[in-house]
């Protein structure tokens, strides 16, 4: 099954998101659990969550890749920023249980000058504080572009975080194609090599979702500027090889390309066509 979808606005609640995702041609989707720039989350209406789950069962939507706010930085130097990361993370994981068995993706964080080692320790500390044995959600570390002081630009850094997580079966990885390309992993000329490297360092079994984005910049640029599927530095044939690669088969592919809904619908149609 080819799972493809995009980011959907969460403003109308769960059932509205499901209908929106389907209207755009998607069979999976991502949404922000709260304002991506931070702040309080709306309480979930259990009736809405129930209606959504019923809708999904009928329409074969079986993967959600919820996204944490960008401001969630578990390795911030400022204690109040870290405190927000802890509180928002824990609250999001509680609310994720309204939709059991899904994914919650977050940017590992920026160490803001404290160094990668400290960053890794602090991230693992927050993750260990918020994971709980009864949870059904899998938390995903996102691969980053290595911009500024971002942690997670190298597969080794993700592995180091995973190694420190006690509830190991609750943690996985979301691979962002723009980010790893910008991070120096050449998915255009050596996709097999990059995936082999991922498998060696992290293990493909940890890979649960893909953010499918083109990049405005060259491989290794460490910039993180997403491009539309047909407009970035990665040729369309490279995108086709990514979505059809056997190692990525069945994973949810989520578009985070600079598009309005119409643009997303067009990209989803194009990718379904390309996938065959």
Residue ranges that bind Zn ion, judged by CB under 5 A: 224
Residue nearer to Fe ion on the CB measure, 49 or 268 = 268
Structure tokens given for 264: 């997303």
Query: Is 240 among the catalytic positions?
Result: no
Q: Cβ contacts of residue 41 below 8 Å, gap of 6+?
A: 33, 34, 88, 91, 92, 95
Minimum CB–partner distance for residue 169 and Zn ion (Å): 27
Query: Is 245 among the catalytic positions?
Result: no
Neighbours of 133 (CB within 10 A): 8
- Catalytic site residue from 57, 70, 218, 249: 70
Query: Is 211 among the catalytic positions?
Result: yes
Q: Which residue has the tokens 């309204």?
A: 98
- Catalytic site residue from 7, 20, 67, 206: 67
| DSSP assignment of 220-275 | T-----EE-TTTSSS-HHHHHHHHT-GGGTTPEEEE--S--HHHHHHHHHHHHHHH
Residue nearer to Fe ion on the CB measure, 15 or 119 = 119
Minimum CB–partner distance for residue 224 and Zn ion (Å): 4
Query: Is 199 among the catalytic positions?
Result: no
Query: Is 67 among the catalytic positions?
Result: yes
d(CA 150, CA 145): 8
Minimum CB–partner distance for residue 178 and Zn ion (Å): 6
- Catalytic site residue from 3, 7, 34, 226: 226
- Catalytic site residue from 157, 176, 182, 267: 176
Query: Is 70 among the catalytic positions?
Result: yes
Q: Please, what is the Cα angle at 45 between 42 and 46, to 5 degrees?
A: 140
Burial status of residue 197 (CB atoms within 10 A of its CB: 0-12, 13-18, 19 or more): middle
Minimum CB–partner distance for residue 40 and Zn ion (Å): 24
Residue nearer to Fe ion on the CB measure, 150 or 256 = 256
Q: Which residue is nearest to Zn ion (CB)?
A: 224
3-state DSSP assignment of residue 17: helix
Residue nearer to Fe ion on the CB measure, 76 or 145 = 145
Structure tokens given for 272: 């379904």
Residue nearer to Fe ion on the CB measure, 22 or 142 = 142
Residues that bind Fe ion (CB under 5 A): 142, 176, 211, 256
Query: Is 62 among the catalytic positions?
Result: no
Query: Is 107 among the catalytic positions?
Result: yes
3-state DSSP assignment of residue 39: coil
From the list Fe ion, Zn ion, none, partner contacted by residue 211 (C-beta under 5 to 8 A by kind): Fe ion
Query: Is 37 among the catalytic positions?
Result: yes
From the list Fe ion, Zn ion, none, partner contacted by residue 267 (C-beta under 5 to 8 A by kind): none
Q: Are 141 and 161 in contact (CB under 8 A)?
A: yes
From the list Zn ion, Fe ion, none, partner contacted by residue 224 (C-beta under 5 to 8 A by kind): Zn ion
- Strand 138-142 with 214-215, pairing: unpaired
User: Which residues belong to the active site?
Assistant: 37, 67, 70, 107, 142, 176, 179, 211, 224, 226, 256
């Amino acid at each position: 099954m080819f799972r493809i979808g995009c980011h959907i606005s969460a403003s109308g609640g769960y059932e509205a998101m499901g209908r929106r995702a389907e209207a755009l041609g998607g069979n999976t989707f991502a949404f922000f659990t709260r304002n991506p720039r931070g702040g309080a989350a709306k309480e979930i209406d259990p009736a809405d969550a129930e209606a959504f789950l019923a809708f999904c069962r009928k329409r074969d939507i079986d993967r959600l890749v919820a996204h944490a706010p960008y401001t969630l930085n578990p390795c911030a130097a400022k204690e109040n920023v870290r405190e927000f990361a802890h509180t928002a993370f824990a609250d999001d994981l509680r609310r994720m249980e309204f939709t059991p068995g899904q994914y919650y993706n977050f940017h590992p964080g920026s160490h803001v000058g404290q160094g990668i080692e400290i960053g890794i320790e602090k991230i693992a500390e927050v993750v260990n504080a918020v994971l709980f044995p009864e949870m059904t959600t899998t938390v995903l570390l996102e691969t980053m572009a290595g911009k500024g002081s971002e942690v997670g630009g190298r597969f080794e850094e993700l592995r180091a975080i995973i190694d420190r997580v006690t509830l190991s079966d609750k943690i996985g990885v979301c691979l962002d194609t723009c980010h790893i390309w910008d991070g120096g992993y050449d998915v255009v000329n050596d996709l097999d090599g990059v995936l082999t490297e991922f498998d060696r360092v992290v293990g493909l079994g940890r890979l649960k979702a893909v953010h499918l984005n083109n990049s405005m910049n060259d491989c290794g640029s460490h910039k993180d500027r997403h491009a539309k599927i047909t407009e970035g530095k990665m040729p369309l044939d490279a995108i086709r090889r990514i979505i059809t690669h056997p190692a990525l088969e069945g994973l949810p592919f989520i578009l985070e390309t600079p598009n309005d809904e119409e643009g997303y619908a067009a990209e989803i149609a194009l990718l379904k066509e390309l996938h065959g």
